[in-house]
Amino acid sequence: MSKKAFTIKEIRASFLEYFESKKHLIEKSASLMPADDPTLLFTTAGMVPFKDYFSGIVKPPSPRIASVQKCFRTTDLSNVGRTLRHMSMFEMLGNFSFGDYFKKEAIEFAWEYVTNYLPFDKEKIWVTIYLDDDEAFDIWHKHIGMPANKIVRLGKKDNFWGPAGSTGACGPCSELYLDRGETYSCESDDPKPGDEGERFMEFWNLVFNQFDLKENGEYAPLKSTGIDTGAGLERLATLVQGVDSVFDTDELKRLREVVEEVYGVKYEGDSIDSIRVLVDHVRALTFTMSDGIFPSNESRGYVLRRLLRRALLFGRKIGQKEPLLYKLVPTVVEIYGYFYPGLKLSAQLVADYIQGEERRFLQTLEVGYQKIYNIMHHTKEFRNSEKVITGKEIFTLYDTFGFPPEMTQEIAESEGFQIDLAGFGAEMEKQRNRGKSAWKGDASVLKEISTQTKFIGYDCESAHAQVTELLLTDESGKSETKKNVHDYEVSGRVFYLVTDQTPCYPESGGQMGDYGFAHGEHFNCKIIDTQKQGNSILHVCEALEGEIAAGAKVEIKIDTDRRENLRKNHSVTHLLNAALRKKFGAHIKQSGSLVDPDYLRFDFSHPNRLDESEVEAIEIEVNSAIGRKLGVNTQELVKDEAEKTGAVMNFGEKYGDVVRVVKMGDTSSDYSIEFCGGTHVKNTNDIKLFLIAKESSPGAGNRRIEAVTFDKACQKIVDLENNLSQQLHVEGHNIADAYKDSFQKIHIELQSVMKKPEAEKFSILHWHVIKKLEKQISELIVNNKKALKKSAVTSDIDEELLDNLVNTKIVKNGNNVISGTVEGGIPQMKIMVDYLRSKSPDSIIILFSFGEPVGKWNLLLATTYAYAEKTGFDASKNIKQLMATHPELKGGGGGKKELAQATGMIPAEGSAVVEKIFVEELI
């Protein structure tokens, strides 16, 4: 290579080019949301996407793979900003071998790359190895030529990796270090890697997976050895570019300079830590949110909310008082979008969402800050020398003020306080009352299954099969495999039937499992669910008649009506996904779904509620796609080929080497292309009709649509029509004079609509007509009730008294003033104000009453909106000033410039004093 890599962009490119030349398959970065791995919240290392390859569960597409993987960790979050190296989000360069090459080649590759492709001085490179790894020592010393004194043996804590759990693959590792010279600190007279200080920086870890740790503590040889290496890109760039910290490397420095500009501070002195935090956290937030993970109060979302709020805490330290962090998102996208194009699709969504979170939390931050400092002040004053914030105080800050315990800890420790996190945990435990939902079966049942079941239900609705396993659980949930099961054994209980093949689709990808029937020579039973575990498909059965035995022949038939509804509802989720992306943009990502025979639920990433017109537009778009009679075709493709089709993949789903692609389209174009293993209609016209029943939010940053297709949609239309007719009938018994014509008109319109023939009635256009009538009827009923209530109240007011107040109005400070004491509370007084406004629109009105409720006074100060605009009069401002001037009134209030109100306690001096203050000082 003629030019050695220097910038981060060049390092990425050179690393991938080098390993591609060494016959490595180059894999794109996986999502920060691990696919099908409940043990991890985030992708924390380069090897995470390849765990199944190392374990042997899945065969890798190549025995050699290399990647640049985006990673996210918060284990050392408190150090981010305070040190030169720590980051929450980083990129990991890695090369991997699955039973192919081992130590010799891994070391050769690493040495050749860092000495030929990076501008490192060979003399400054040191390595560490595991204490007794003589093989690695010989390779480095005898084969590579590394001087023995630059090969440092370290113990298990530093140079032995794994296993990921209590048992499994593990092995020694070798790490490469760069000696940065005597200008960097080192607490040793004989400086070498492993010492405290900044002089030696580790930049590449080569893990040699060669042992299998058994439960008894034995390190047995691994059947197939492997290589897992990782080099932090930012750390590597720090050394390549000869800078002090990761925040001085070229890409992060660009972002750092924009932070300085947006926040109006220099990267110096006390501002350094805050700027580093903002740089790291906004980058991490942009990447994670672009992968469909949004701040919330649960699981992954809570980690992100904590990260965002920590950024605001440090932003406050450098003067942030309004949303600013969101302004950095475009710069993150500009810097990294060339390598991670997905960032460009979600840029506006991420910025808008962060801005909303900032606006909400900055208010909480001020309140929380004050509360914490009040607690610390109280602690110093009344708890002698004890400087501890109690668990209960931390809980109150969190539960009442929304202030995260991690931020309480950060602030407290900066002031020399300790916090009682154990006590906080105890308080949280008291509050928790979460039930744990269990699957119909039990994990212990599933572990006993060895059958590989072939699913053949895409093309058939019944099939002959052989019973391979029978499982039964007792009342405690303990399971056992049975050779045969009698009907008397399972009376009122379920049992599990496993066969060599089945037409029943197991619950997967959001689609519910099939129901059906199983019939044999000596038995019949009902299938009430179908589930999958590994390569096995379980039929959850009940209502057994006769005796069923392992090895028996069985005919399995699915519930075809139920399956047909599942097909419609699953296919329409694809159309809905495509319609949402078409209307709102490619940032729309499916975040969850449920395909039930009665309805469908579709969750997607989007920050804002869909308004009525948007919901209607989506309904029209989906029904248009249904009406176009688009063909639905499926094909199995190698994953790389499938990706080239532009097929949509779902976050959180793990795909094999061969995937099933579902296309919906006509000869001119595809409307929808998705990776999907579910069952579907043959043509979109089979769906017939799609209605949205509800739009809501399942959690921060996500929206949920619940919808129905033809059968349930038709029923929904009929039910709504009948419900509206019933409402009009009930409300029609008591109608205000002003609304009698409106009730009559809308009643006639509804009756006309209800008489439409089915061909017109069961359509999206008819549905929208009915929805508009529903809104009109609802508004009419509300207005009628208000009119009836107002009529009842108006009939009780003393018009003669009010006319007298108008006739005796005075002029004060250039204003006509109507004032006086009336009877009644605030609602009645507002009716009186409306009456007085109509009689004298260019006057200021002061009405007060006493004793409703007992011991209280009520005040209304009002005029017309036009008069307030014309004169600059502000009723709300006048009332607030009066209340501030006279605390003895023990009152408060406010409102608008044309109408404000106040209430308070009548003082001991009596109501006359109150009345005098109102009349003399309000105007």
Q: Give me the pLDDT at residue 796, please.
A: 67
What residues contact residue 859 under an 8 Å CB cut-off, 6+ apart?
846, 847, 848, 879, 891, 893, 901, 902, 903, 918
Q: What are the angstrom distances between the C-alpha of 40 and each of 51, 443, 760, 861?
A: 12, 20, 52, 61
Helix axis angle for 740-754 and 710-731, nearest 10°, is 150
Per-residue model confidence (pLDDT) at position 435: 26
Positive or negative torsion for Cα 905, 908, 914, 920: negative
- Tens digits of per-residue pLDDT, 615-633? 999 999 999 999 999 999 9
pLDDT of residue 738: 84
The CB-side HSE value for 901 (13 A sphere, CA atoms) comes to 11
Nearest CA to 710 out of 672, 770, 767, 663 is that of 767
Tens-place pLDDT, residues 95-150 = 999 999 999 999 999 999 999 999 999 999 999 999 999 999 999 999 999 999 99
Greatest mean pLDDT among 27-36, 530-539, 689-698, 750-759 lies in: 689-698
Say what the pLDDT of residue 443 is.
38
User: Residue 663 pairs with which residues in a beta bridge?
Assistant: 633, 673
Confidence of residue 433 (pLDDT cuts 50, 70, 90): very low
Q: Which class for 384: exposed (0-12), middle (13-18), buried (19 or more C-beta within 10 A)?
A: exposed
The whole-model pTM stands at 0.63
In angstroms, rounded to a whole number, what is the distance separating the alpha carbons of residues 672 and 666? 10
The three-class DSSP label of residue 220 is strand
Instruction: Give dist(CA 672, CA 625) in Å, integer.
Output: 10
Indicate the DSSP class of residue 711: H
Report how far residue 531's alpha carbon sits from residue 515's, in angstroms, rounded to the nearest whole number. Answer: 11
At 364 the pLDDT is: 72
Confidence (pLDDT) at 313? 86
pLDDT the model gives residue 653: 66
Dig out the tokens for 614 from the structure.
């948007």
156 within 8 A of 171, measured Cβ to Cβ: no
CA dihedral over 566, 571, 575, 577, signed as positive or negative: positive
Q: Of the ranges 231-240, 534-543, 613-622, which one carries the lowest mean pLDDT score?
A: 534-543
Query: If you write DSSP's letter for every residue of 639-700 in order, what string do you get?
Result: HHHHHHTT-B--TT----SEEEEEEEE-SS-EEEEEE--S---SBGGGT--EEEEEEEEEET
What's the rounded Cα separation, in Å, for the pair 289 and 303? 12
Residues shown for the chain: 923
pLDDT tens string 653-677: 667 778 899 999 987 788 999 999 9
pLDDT of residue 478: 66
Residue 773 neighbours by CB distance under 10 Å: 18
Q: Do residues 238 and 201 touch, judged by C-beta distance below 8 A?
A: yes
- The residue with greater pLDDT, 51 or 802, is 802
Q: Please say if the pLDDT value at position 167 is more than 70.
A: no
Express the helix, strand and coil content of the chain in percent, nearest 5 each: 45, 25, 30
Which of 287-301, 406-420, 896-910 has the highest average model confidence (pLDDT)?
A: 896-910
* Residue 532, helix vs strand vs coil: strand
Mean pLDDT of 63-79: 92
